[in-house]
Structure 1
Amino acid sequence: MSDQQQLLDILAQVGRALGNGHRLALLERLAQGEAPVETLATTAGLTVGNASQHLQQLRRAGLVTATRAGKQMIYRLTDERIITLMGLLREVAETNLAEMERLVGRLFADDDADGALEAVSREDLLAGLARGEVALLDVRPEDEFAAGHLPAAINIPLTQLEAMLDRLPRDREIVAYCRGPYCALSHEAVQRLRQLGYRVRRFEEGYPEWKAAGLPVV
């Protein structure tokens, strides 16, 4: 086997590691910050044993690393460029696969039901923040928020939203964000808050994409 073929086979190993929806879910969670296998399993809807098997495949492909802390194994992304790689996969799929376009359209069918609103782009969000016209709402769980978040964001996990409405301003538009473009947490938060009369939209990306773009995080 030629050296060139061996190199291509190694690249294929990375591709195979990415070729599973559960493993992509694990990578999406690790893009928020490091986590033990138990947390990763819960987030991805897997048993601990199944999550561990998927993580081992990601580890062999060089996509995640792990360190032991007492009895726990703590996993993290090996390289922040993995976030960019996942974004490229998403863009290629959305551009070239009709089924992807259909599913994305169905996922966010209610985002702009009256034609008056749409998801907020990175550029528009930066401009709104600079003008002081926007309040950021992070609806991820507290441990993910603690690992890193956008500056001045208010953290209200979706499960606590109705109980913590007093933390949200009424004089500014609220932009909700969560784990990434397909994260249902911010989508559901927007729907609930609109029903309560808030001016609110969804950030079209998420914390990992913001961080990968080199923008400020806390």
Structure 2
Amino acid sequence: IMVVGGLPSAAHILGGTGDPADKNIVAARDRVARGLEELVPIALEHGVRLVLEPLHPMYAADRAVLSTLGQALDLASPYPTKAVGVVVDTFHVFWDPQLQQQIQRAGLEHRLASYQICDFNLPIASNALQSRGMMGDGHIDFSAISRWVSQAGYRGPVEVEIFNDEINQQDSALTLATMSQRYETLVLPHLEQAAGVQPASALN
């Protein structure tokens, strides 16, 4: 999974180096496209699939100039599906007005490689990376997004990916129990219903 990087002007924030005056986001995105073009033949040679992950626009400066699923699919489109896929991470893409259509497109193009979930908490933490929350604690509609992902044909693993200092510091057994309960309540039934599977909860 590829987090493609931000602007040279912000590289120092993550310990890198770059021209503080270089804030050209169009050029940065072009470099991502050219880098992908160089990597695809190597990926194909070694049986590796490159998976593009769009990040929330608040990370465009320092972490990823790739912000929407549509952008990721446009970058992937020239290449074989076995070489380049995309990931749907709810934290990063829930806000996108084109999300349903782009998830459907990703399914039709056979590029859905991963589904990652966590919630979007407010207020934003001083370190925005730590604003991910347990499903149900924030503002993301997991029922809709899970249905869209399932309807697009995704049947792979669902990764709960939470960066949150408070959750990291609590007892791991509590985290696991809460995560399991929230997943079974907020996510799994919608994945199963959209796939035409009777929800597990209805079988008990």
Shorter-chain TM-score tier: under 0.3
| Bigger relative CO (Cα 8 Å, ≥ 6 apart) | 1
Please identify the structure whose Cα radius of gyration is greater.
1
TM-score, length-normalised on structure 2? 0.28
TM-score (norm 1): 0.26
